[in-house]
């Protein structure tokens, strides 16, 4: 058995002038994973059954913007599904760790790859500080291209080597499709909402991002012995030089 950690991102390190880069992870003890998977699969099946929408997963940006499988679906329906999904996430037995990268005023970004690498290190350190009964952590990423997957694997291996946190787990990396691994959809949702909040976009056309954040806020990992997650489960890195 292992701690299964699903990871996704919103924004890009080379586009920090357009908004922050966010990596979100969702940690679930493997013995509790079936309940989480079942909850998401039932939610998606309920959309098909109740609304007749041919959808296989919740991809938050598409849901909000009405793209792809959501094209032609009324905004009222999409808002209702968005709100219901936020409530679902808040009720799941999960632990969130989130890293937000911002560019300081007037700072030029010379190495986007270096930004992603350091952000991954910050995330890995927080995963090491996430408690579990198991000695193994399996990081599951939404698979992209062969080259991108290889780059992410290298970044994780480098982050594990350079971590300042105690290595609580033996870390393994896996790449899956987000339909195969529904919990990736939670990481996608969390990353999208946090990026919106950090851009001070608290709502858009009735999609209440602030309410969604406040719903899953209780799942963000707290600092040991404290009732705050700032710097712990939610780490903000502002590049100022």
Model pLDDT for residues 150-166, shown as the tens digit of each residue: 999 999 999 999 999 99
Question: Is the Cβ–Cβ distance between 22 and 99 less than 8 Å?
Answer: yes
Q: Please, which residues have CB within 8 angstroms of residue 189's CB and are 6 or more apart in sequence?
A: 58, 60, 85, 86, 89, 212
How many angstroms separate the CA atoms of 59 and 70, rounded? 10
The pLDDT, as a whole number, for residue 240 is 87
Mean pLDDT of the chain: 96
203 pLDDT band, cuts 50/70/90, is very high
The pLDDT, as a whole number, for residue 231 is 97
Task: Give the closest residue to 183 by CA, choosing from 21, 54, 43.
Answer: 43
The pLDDT, as a whole number, for residue 111 is 82
Q: Please, which residues have CB within 8 angstroms of residue 114's CB and are 6 or more apart in sequence?
A: none
Share of the chain above pLDDT 90, in %: 94
Per-residue pLDDT tens digits for 102-116: 998 878 887 888 999
The pLDDT, as a whole number, for residue 241 is 73
138 exposed, middle or buried (CB, 10 Å; 0-12, 13-18, 19+)?
A: middle
Print burial letters for 186-221: b (CB count within 10 Å at least 16), e (below 16): bbbbbbbbbbbbbeeeeeeeebbbeebbebbeebbb
Q: How far is CA 148 from CA 112, 139, 143, 154, 175, in A?
A: 14, 15, 8, 10, 11
Reading the block at residue 95, the tokens are 């632990």
Question: Is the Cβ–Cβ distance between 77 and 51 less than 8 Å?
Answer: yes
Residue 20 has pLDDT above 80, yes or no: yes
100 pLDDT band, cuts 50/70/90, is very high
What is the 8-class DSSP label of residue 33? Answer: H
The pLDDT, as a whole number, for residue 9 is 97
- Radius of gyration of the chain from its Cα atoms, rounded to whole angstroms: 17
Reading the block at residue 46, the tokens are 């309920």
Task: Tell me the mean pLDDT in the region 171-190.
Answer: 97
How many angstroms separate the CA atoms of 55 and 76, rounded? 17
The pLDDT, as a whole number, for residue 156 is 98
How many angstroms separate the CA atoms of 152 and 142, rounded? 11
Per-residue pLDDT tens digits for 65-86: 999 999 999 999 999 999 999 9
What is the 8-class DSSP label of residue 227? Answer: S
The pLDDT, as a whole number, for residue 45 is 98
């Amino acid at each position: 058995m292992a701690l299964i950690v699903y990871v996704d991102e919103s924004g890009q390190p080379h586009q920090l002038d357009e908004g922050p880069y966010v990596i979100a992870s969702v940690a679930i003890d493997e013995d509790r994973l079936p309940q989480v998977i079942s909850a998401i699969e039932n939610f998606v099946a309920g959309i098909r059954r109740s609304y007749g929408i041919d959808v296989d997963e919740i991809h938050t940006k598409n849901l909000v913007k009405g793209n792809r499988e959501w094209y032609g679906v009324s905004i009222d329906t999409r808002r209702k599904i968005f709100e219901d999904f936020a409530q679902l996430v808040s009720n799941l037995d999960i632990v969130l760790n989130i890293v937000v990268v911002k560019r300081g005023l007037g700072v030029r970004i010379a190495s986007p790859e270096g930004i992603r690498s350091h952000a991954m290190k910050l995330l890995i350190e927080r995963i090491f500080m996430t408690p579990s009964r198991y000695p193994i952590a399996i990081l599951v990423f939404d698979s992209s291209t062969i080259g991108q997957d290889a780059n992410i694997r290298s970044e994780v291996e480098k982050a594990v080597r350079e971590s300042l946190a105690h290595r609580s787990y033996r870390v393994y990396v896996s790449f899956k499709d987000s339909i195969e691994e529904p919990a990736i959809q939670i990481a996608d949702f969390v990353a999208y909402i946090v990026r919106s909040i950090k851009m001070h976009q608290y709502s858009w056309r009735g999609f209440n991002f602030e309410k969604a954040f406040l719903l899953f806020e209780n799942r963000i990992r707290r600092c040991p012995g404290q009732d705050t997650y700032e710097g712990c489960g939610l780490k903000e890195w502002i590049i100022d030089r």
